[in-house]
Amino acid sequence: MRKPFAITLDPGSSLANHTGTWRTSRPVYLDRLPPCNHACPAGENIQGWLNHAESGEYEAAWRLLTEDNPLPAVMGRVCYHPCESSCNRASLDSAVGINSVERFLGDEAIRRGWRFDGPGFPTGKKILIVGAGPSGLSAAYHLARLGHAVEIHEAGPVAGGMMRFGIPKYRLPRNVLDFEIERILQLGVGLDLNRKVANIQQTMKQGGFDAAFLAVGAHIAKRAYIPAGSAAKILDAVAVLRSMEGEDKPLLGRRVVVYGGGNTAIDVARTAKRLGAEEAIIVYRRTRERMPAHDFEVEEALQEGVLIKWLSTIKQADGASITVEKMALDAKGFPQPTGEFETLAADSVVLALGQDVDLSLLDGVPGLELKDGVVQVGANMMTGHAGIFAGGDMVPAERTVTVAIGHGKKAARHIDAWLKGNVFAKERNNEAATYDKLNTWYYSDAPKTLQPVLDLVRRQSTFDEVTKGLDENNALYEARRCLSCGNCFECDNCYGVCPDNAVIKLGPGKRFQFNLDYCKGCGICVSECPCGAIKMVPEEI
Ligand SMILES: Cc1cc2nc3c(=O)[nH]c(=O)nc-3n(C[C@H](O)[C@H](O)[C@H](O)COP(=O)(O)OP(=O)(O)OC[C@H]3O[C@@H](n4cnc5c(N)ncnc54)[C@H](O)[C@@H]3O)c2cc1C
Ligand code: SF4
Ligand code: SF4
Ligand code: SF4
């Protein structure tokens, strides 16, 4: 479709001239890989689904999106959207709000009750998935669509993993999560709750499984040695967040100190505020620049009244106070103790120092390589033991929901190939649609839409969702901001600008082709294509 923010030229008027044989290069149409698609850990075809969305074809957009990622309403809320950090539009004005359009499509699917197409034709193969977090659910979805019988064994009482027992409700409402999980299970995926796998080989043998995908996450809280009086209340962040899902909310007191600098520390401090703490202070040993938590989350926490004590470590904890030592950065930028101490009032101290993986289900499995507390996997996501694959937080990678979902998809494709005695070969990577390939003159300015945010008072006192979704008008506008990098959007410019009428229009959705009997190889179409979907290649002599 033609873009409202792109200029289109009128068709050329020159008389068609049959070309001679002197052309040295010729134009070819191609689809390049946009940087957003390349950066999405779930491997979404973002340019493709935005293209549907901008024509108002929301269901087609959702169907294309969910070919890669079965949890768009969840991802539209919790993904840290590396796609937007790579978006070419950021060099023009600001990145396309990919994440907010993804959320709009996910919510629209829930509202309208869209379902996935049924499972694939049965292959007769049976696959065990251990863990119903994002990685396990994603693998289950893709394997079921490939026709395999899938059974998930989940240790907990409900599916979702850290999406449910870590990420707070004010960022991910549970009805959204429940709906998207249920839709995966409707593909015929079996879910066995309260079923912890203690020995993977035994479980596989007993159940007659042909392969297994392990996605047990990282749930063991890391501890720090803090000398503590008997009255000191020291808790783990994951345990605190987990208990938020139960009937009995954690008793943190009026003054809560959180120790750590990651997103989990931020989530606990914001949760403590909502539970009624007058003071929630994060104690972190480095500076803001070195804090692993995402900047926007730090900002939101500060707005809600969370305090952060930079360059500080906890030395001791007693009944109602802690002792903090100030740190100073050395020449290499590492924090060093100063010997200066301070006392802070604290009814409880919550440790948010990261999580380790419980690998006990792998005890005695031959061929595995365990390093730095995680399982090593090959490029096909298979561990050193044939038929046992793994992904998500338990393998070496960035720990995010999107990476976990991407691992599930990748593993499913490799498991499918492995079961058939094949090797899954990724489609050849297209050439990159880098910013220099665009002709940005053709696009007009269109500033990004901001998502509405809940008012501060309600943010501080309730677990209502903080960030709201876009309405249809804004979602449409945002989708139309996409420059369609490297992929023809049928603006007709090449057709209009060619001095020799060498471009043949094939009709809506069918794009164009060159009539090489007329093309003189001038390359004007290449330089006037807004999105870099044509290139010149040398003529073979
Ligand atoms: C507080 C917090 C906030 C976060 N916020 C975000 C965010 O906003 N955005 C983001 O992208 N990422 C976020 N993350 C990270 C993200 O949640 C994880 O990277 C992701 O959930 C990992 O997925 P997974 O499937 O590997 O494991 P998990 O989600 O941990 O799921 C593993 C599942 O396996 C089950 N299990 C474990 N052992 C066994 C066993 N032996 N047998 C059977 N079942 C077992 C567990 O009960 C669990 O359900 C956050 C993490 C935390 C802790
Ligand atoms: S999953 Fe994340 S990275 Fe992928 S398109 Fe959605 S927001 Fe972007
Ligand atoms: S402008 Fe569109 S295609 Fe290009 S990087 Fe951004 S979202 Fe992707
Ligand atoms: S290939 Fe032609 S029609 Fe397609 S975007 Fe480029 S100039 Fe427009």
| pLDDT tens by residue, 370-408 | 999 999 999 999 999 999 999 999 999 999 999 999 999
Task: Establish whether residue 40 lines the binding site of ligand 3, counting it when its CB lies within 6 angstroms of any ligand atom.
Answer: no
Question: Is pLDDT at 201 greater than 90 in this prediction?
Answer: yes
Per DSSP, 127 falls in state E
Question: Is pLDDT at 10 greater than 90 in this prediction?
Answer: no
| pLDDT, position 235 | 94
Buried b (16+ CB within 10 A) or exposed e, 174-212: eebbebbbebbbebebebeeeeebeebbebbeeeebbbb
Pairwise CA distance, residues 303 & 146, whole Å: 46
- Return the amino acid letter for 189: V
Q: Which residue, by CA, sits nearest to atom 5 of ligand 4?
A: 488
- Rounded to the nearest 10°, the torsion over CA 208, 130, 141, 409 is -110
CA of 485 to the centre of ligand 3 (A): 6
Question: Is pLDDT at 225 greater than 90 in this prediction?
Answer: no
Pairwise CA distance, residues 236 & 253, whole Å: 15
Banded model confidence at residue 227, pLDDT cuts 50, 70, 90: confident
Banded model confidence at residue 114, pLDDT cuts 50, 70, 90: very high
Pairwise CA distance, residues 341 & 397, whole Å: 37
Encoded tokens for 539: 């003529």
* Contact between 450 and 296 (Cβ < 8 Å): no
Question: To test ligand 1's pocket by mutation, which of 162, 360, 361, 388 has the most ligand atoms within 8 angstroms of CB?
Answer: 162
Per DSSP, 56 falls in state T
User: What average pLDDT does the structure give for the chain?
Assistant: 94
Element holding 328 (H helix, E strand): strand 321-329
| pLDDT, position 13 | 43
CA of 32 to the centre of ligand 4 (A): 13
| pLDDT, position 218 | 97
Pairwise CA distance, residues 526 & 106, whole Å: 36
CA of 46 to the centre of ligand 3 (A): 8
| pLDDT, position 4 | 63
Of the candidates 386, 359, 385, the one whose C-alpha atom is nearest the C-alpha of residue 374 is 359
Question: To test ligand 2's pocket by mutation, which of 68, 89, 402, 478 has the most ligand atoms within 8 angstroms of CB?
Answer: 402
- Return the amino acid letter for 66: T
The alpha carbon of residue 411 and the mean position of all alpha carbons in its chain are separated, in whole angstroms, by 16
At 86-105, the pLDDT tens digits run 999 999 999 999 999 999 99
Q: Which residue, by CA, sits nearest to atom 21 of ligand 1?
A: 162
Q: What is the DSSP string of 235-292?
A: EEHHHHHHHTTSSS-----SEEEEE--SHHHHHHHHHHHHTT-SEEEEE-SS-GGG--
At 59-88, the pLDDT tens digits run 999 999 999 999 999 999 999 999 999 999
| pLDDT, position 14 | 46
Task: Establish whether residue 261 lines the binding site of ligand 1, counting it when its CB lies within 6 angstroms of any ligand atom.
Answer: no
Task: Establish whether residue 411 lines the binding site of ligand 1, counting it when its CB lies within 6 angstroms of any ligand atom.
Answer: no
At 297-342, the pLDDT tens digits run 999 999 999 999 999 999 999 888 999 999 999 999 899 999 999 9
Pairwise CA distance, residues 88 & 482, whole Å: 9
Nearest ligand to the CA of 400 is 1
Of the candidates 393, 525, 382, the one whose C-alpha atom is nearest the C-alpha of residue 12 is 525
- End-to-end distance of the chain based on CA atoms, in angstroms? 37
Residues in contact with 476: Cβ distance below 8 Å, sequence separation at least 6, in sequence order: 53, 54, 56
Banded model confidence at residue 23, pLDDT cuts 50, 70, 90: confident
Question: To test ligand 3's pocket by mutation, which of 44, 81, 88, 448 has the most ligand atoms within 8 angstroms of CB?
Answer: 88
Nearest ligand to the CA of 51 is 3
Task: Establish whether residue 485 lines the binding site of ligand 3, counting it when its CB lies within 6 angstroms of any ligand atom.
Answer: yes
CA of 128 to the centre of ligand 1 (A): 18
* Contact between 35 and 431 (Cβ < 8 Å): no
Task: Establish whether residue 31 lines the binding site of ligand 4, counting it when its CB lies within 6 angstroms of any ligand atom.
Answer: no
Pairwise CA distance, residues 59 & 44, whole Å: 16
* Contact between 313 and 284 (Cβ < 8 Å): no
CA of 165 to the centre of ligand 1 (A): 8
Q: What is the DSSP string of 94-106?
A: S---HHHHHHHHH
Q: Which residue, by CA, sits nearest to atom 8 of ligand 3?
A: 36
Pairwise CA distance, residues 46 & 38, whole Å: 9
Task: Establish whether residue 45 lines the binding site of ligand 3, counting it when its CB lies within 6 angstroms of any ligand atom.
Answer: no
| pLDDT, position 540 | 78
Task: Establish whether residue 53 lines the binding site of ligand 3, counting it when its CB lies within 6 angstroms of any ligand atom.
Answer: no
CA of 383 to the centre of ligand 1 (A): 19
* Contact between 223 and 351 (Cβ < 8 Å): yes
CA of 67 to the centre of ligand 3 (A): 19
At 295-304, the pLDDT tens digits run 999 999 999 9
Question: Is pLDDT at 55 greater than 90 in this prediction?
Answer: yes
Per DSSP, 319 falls in state S
Question: Is pLDDT at 12 greater than 60 in this prediction?
Answer: no
Burial of 162 (0-12, 13-18, 19+ CB in 10 A): buried
Nearest ligand to the CA of 513 is 4
Q: What percent of the chain has pLDDT over 70?
A: 96
| pLDDT, position 107 | 98
Task: Establish whether residue 526 lines the binding site of ligand 4, counting it when its CB lies within 6 angstroms of any ligand atom.
Answer: no
| pLDDT, position 232 | 78
Encoded tokens for 43: 């491997």
* Contact between 488 and 531 (Cβ < 8 Å): yes
Task: Establish whether residue 327 lines the binding site of ligand 3, counting it when its CB lies within 6 angstroms of any ligand atom.
Answer: no
Sign of the torsion angle spanned by Cα atoms 230, 231, 235, 240? positive
At 411-424, the pLDDT tens digits run 999 999 999 999 99
Q: What is the DSSP string of 149-193?
A: EEEEE-SSSSS-THHHHTS-TTTS-HHHHHHHHHHHHTTT-EEET
Closest ligand 1 atom to residue 160 Cα is: 49
Encoded tokens for 422: 């094949």
* Contact between 260 and 309 (Cβ < 8 Å): no
Question: To test ligand 1's pocket by mutation, which of 129, 130, 167, 394 has the most ligand atoms within 8 angstroms of CB?
Answer: 167
Banded model confidence at residue 426, pLDDT cuts 50, 70, 90: confident
| pLDDT, position 18 | 59
